[in-house]
Amino acid sequence: MPEGYLPIFIFLICAILFPLVLLAIFRYLRPSLPIPVKLEAYECGIRAASNARGRYTVRFYIVAILFVVFDVETIFLFPWAVRFRQLAWFGVAEVAVFLSILIVGYIWAYKKGALEWV
């Protein structure tokens, strides 16, 4: 059903164009008076104490890694759910094995303290 995807693409293009067109049209109605102070980064009315582009705490990368591991896992569950009735007990057993491996990983991550935030 390729035509099923056609509306999506057209709609996506419309959704991107809509704000752009508005932006373009209203450029002529909008004031544009940039002055250096106005363009400074907002930090509660005080000149920024330091750059915001420093290295940030490593915690957030752990979240990303955990996410990749477990989100891929959930994606594998979708085909199982669709073919659930055909696969019956074989599918249940397969998924049980699959999940138990991931649960072991989850417990390991938990024990390691990867789920202790900040």
Query: Binding to another protein (CB under 8 A): which residues in 50-79?
Result: 50-60, 63-64, 66-67, 70-71, 74-75, 77-78
Check residue 14 for interaction with another protein (CB under 8 A). yes
> Phi and psi dihedrals of 99, rounded to 5?
-70, -35
Check residue 2 for interaction with another protein (CB under 8 A). no
Check residue 97 for interaction with another protein (CB under 8 A). no
Interacting residues of 40 by C-beta distance below 8 A, sequence separation 6+? 47, 48
Checking 91-100 for CB contacts under 8 A at 24+ apart, the result is 98/73, 99/73
Binder of another protein out of 18, 101, 104, 108 (CB under 8 A): 18
Check residue 34 for interaction with another protein (CB under 8 A). yes
